[in-house]
Structure formats: C-alpha cells, structure tokens
Amino acid sequence: MKIDNSKELFSKAQKFIPGGVNSPVRAFKSVGGDPLFIKSAKGAFMYDADDNEYVDLINSWGPMILGHSHPDIEGAVAEAIKSSLSFGAPTEKEIIIAELICKMVPSVEKVRMVNSGTEATMSAIRLARGYTNREKIIKFEGCYHGHGDSFLIAAGSGAATMGVPNSPGVTEGVAKDTLTAPFNDLVAVKHLIESNPDNIAAIILEPVAGNMGCITPVEGYLQGLRSLCDQHGIVLIFDEVMTGFRLARGGAQELFNVSADLTTMGKIIGGGMPVGAYGGKREIMEFVSPVGPVYQAGTLSGNPVAMAAGYAMLSYLYSNPAVYEQLDATTKQIEAGFRDNLTKLGLDYTINQLGSMISIFFSNQKITDFESAKTCDTELFGKYFRGMLNEGIYLAPSQFETLFISTEITENLVQKIVDANYKVLQDIH
C-alpha cells in the first residue's frame, strides 16, 4: 500500500506540531508505524493522502454515528455559515438544542454547552464539589474523562487508594482529591466512602467503558452506585461522552434504566463539530454561574455553526430511533463473524460488544476491568491493527479503545470486515 504522501506529511507535521498530531492517540504510537493523513471521507469510507480507501470503524472516535458527510448535517452547517460563524452572544439555536437534549436524556433538566468532553467533565466535577461543598471525587481505573488534572490520576498504592499523578504537571495537591477504584467493583467504592465520610463530592464513571476497550457494567453495578450515592449525598456523574446518543437516544441511562445526577456529553452531540455539554438535575445546575456561584465560561460555547451541526445530528437520531436496533444488529453480525473466525483458527480471544461499541481483546480472560484488560497482548494487537489497515479497515489505533460502528456499515461491508479479520488473524499467528 503506497503511503508516501502520509509519510511526507508526517515528517513535516513533526516540525510544527508536538509529535505531528493534535491528539496523542492519533500518532499510532501504541500500534507502531506512522499515522495516515486523512484527506476526505464519505459515508462508511475515509481516504488518505495517497488516495487509499478505508472502511472507517472509528468514526472520529464516535461522533460520525451516521457516517461521513451526512446530508442533514452538512446542509445545516452550510446554511448556518451564511449568517456568520460566531457572535459570543446567546442565540435561539442554543435553546432548541438544549430543549432536545433534555427531551432525549430525561435526567437532564438543564444543560450547559461547552467545547469538548474534557471541558464538560472538568466543569461537572467542579460543580459537584461546589454543590456538595466536599473535596474528593471517585473515578475508576481505566476510565478516561479527558485531560483535566483531576482525571490524570493513577491508582494509589494499597489501602490509601489516594490518587497519584500519572502525568507530569499534575500536582500532588490535585491528585490527593481523586480516589480510584477498579471498575465493576462496588465493595471498593463502599470502602472509599467509609474511609472518607461526608467528603466525597462525586463518583464519575463511563457507564459503559470504552477507554479500556469496550467493557460493560456487571449486573447491578450501576444500580449499586446509584443507591450508594443516594445514601451518602454523593453526586453520580455518568460520563456519556462516548455512550451518549450512541447506545440509545438517552444513552446508557436509557439502556440500563439508571439516572445520573449529572451527565457529561460530547462527540455525537456536535455532529462532528467541537461540542461538549454537561447537564442534570435543575437544583444542581442552578449552582452554575451566572445563576449560581460555580464559575464556568467559554468564548465559543454554544457556537451557532456547531449547534446547527449538533441539532441536525440529534434531531435525526431522535426522529429515527430504529437506527439503534440497526446499529446493534450490524455490530452483532460483526461480532458473530469474528467469533466464527476465532473458532475456525482455534483462537480464544475475548470480544465485548454492546450496541455499536465492540472490542476484540487479545486475551482469553473475561475482560471486566482495567486489570483484566491489561492481560492483552498489545504487541499482537499492533500487528492486527496494521494488518487490518493493509486490508482497508481503519480501526482504533490502540487495544484499549473501542470501535464505533456507523449506520453506513452495510451487509457487504460486514463481510469485508469479517473476511479481513480472518485473513489478518491467520497471518499474525
């Protein structure tokens, strides 16, 4: 496969951009090889700088659930840009999308738009701390909530379970207020709550984890967190930046019938434009400036062009709930094909799938948390990733990421993906 143009662009990019990329995972560091520079995309396909065609199974890390260049979204943006790009003043579009979000996610009574998932999660924990007047938060090992200091925390050692920074630049002062527990482990959470009486402001989690690969909550886990938060006055924050509007119109909350106190959103909400949001119970959201004391602001928050794209995306999903059955059915077909291939090849790797999220783990363990996810052979995954790329299938460049299937993946593309999976698994073993 000719990738000379990507190689040339990558060496030039590294002169002006750290690592040649504007987000680390794009650099292909954990899978080896140089990143491809993408020139365009349409429907299920992306095209790189050398005009190679790929079936896109990452879809910009989630936003492109309807595939690329969806006419409703492109039309809405084309219309919006005729009225200038930004005013820095309130617009009717912001009301319309806020109303629709509150309709789609019943636990969200009020919502504030921001510009990324990171901004949403940073704001949500500040709000939870301001609302409860408590300092600590609990997050889960392997869950990612963006690059806010409070989240770049590794599991503390032993009983302390106090967080330690896992990036230079994050201070001990910040890390001490982030407690960590294994995902899917309610007992560990109970222990943290007992060890920090009346001082835990929030529990934040991906209700279905995507940042360790796809990991679903075990039976009763979300409900258990809900009741612990009710008992102890803790704000339950569902980080639905990935799962929101992807697993159902109301996200994981609708699927598992568990309501969060605050929900953070991103990705799909912007239809491909930079949009994040946090929202939830009216009494909590009324603590947000200017109506309340918790400060949060943003020059381009609620940007009219981004709102137009996001509203077109959300209204399509709201009016076509059948897409979720379609996405689940397509992803289940892919899963069935992968399982078939593993059986034929005598391999016993683990596959986790829920809705349009799916991961193949190069491990024979049940993958239920970060510890089990870390048993994967990441080197072998790298070979798999590169092999699939050569077969024209663009996967997430990390074992610890989930794939996002779009509505543009048709039957014949399912077959192409499954055939490529068989060939590459055979080649690398």
Sign of CA dihedral 249, 253, 259, 264: negative
- Give CA separation, 339 vs 237, 349, 415, in Å: 34, 9, 13
CA–CA separation, 386 and 392 (whole Å): 10
CA–CA separation, 428 and 384 (whole Å): 7
Q: Which candidate, 381, 20, 14, 23, places its Cα nearest to that of 213? A: 381
Cβ nearer to ligand KE4, comparing 275 with 418: 275
C-alpha 239, offset from chain centre? 8
Bridge-partner residues for 394, per DSSP? 56
Q: Exactly one of 6, 178, 211, 352 binds ligand KE4 (CB under 6 A); which one? A: 211
From the candidates 144, 221, 316, 394, give the one annotated as an active-site residue.
Answer: 144
Q: Which residues contact 120 (CB under 8 A, 6 or more apart)?
A: 114, 146, 241, 264, 265, 266, 276, 277, 278
Q: Exactly one of 146, 217, 251, 279 binds ligand KE4 (CB under 6 A); which one? A: 146
Closest approach, Cβ 385 to ligand KE4, in A, equals 15
Q: Does 356 bind ligand KE4 (CB under 6 A)?
A: no
Q: Does 246 bind ligand KE4 (CB under 6 A)?
A: no
User: What are 311's two structure tokens?
Assistant: 């509203």
149 catalytically annotated:
no
From the candidates 239, 261, 328, 369, give the one annotated as an active-site residue.
Answer: 239
> Would you give the binding string for ligand KE4 spanning residues 104-143, x where CB under 6 A is met?
------------xxx--x----------------------
Q: Does 239 bind ligand KE4 (CB under 6 A)?
A: yes
Bridge-partner residues for 352, per DSSP? 359
From the candidates 139, 267, 324, 349, give the one annotated as an active-site residue.
Answer: 267
Rule CB under 6 A: which of 45-84 touch ligand KE4? 61
Q: Does 241 bind ligand KE4 (CB under 6 A)?
A: yes
Q: Does 328 bind ligand KE4 (CB under 6 A)?
A: no
Positions marked active-site: 144, 239, 267
Which parts of this chain interact with ligand KE4 (CB under 6 A)?
23, 25, 61, 116-118, 121, 144-146, 206, 210-211, 239, 241-242, 266, 276, 401
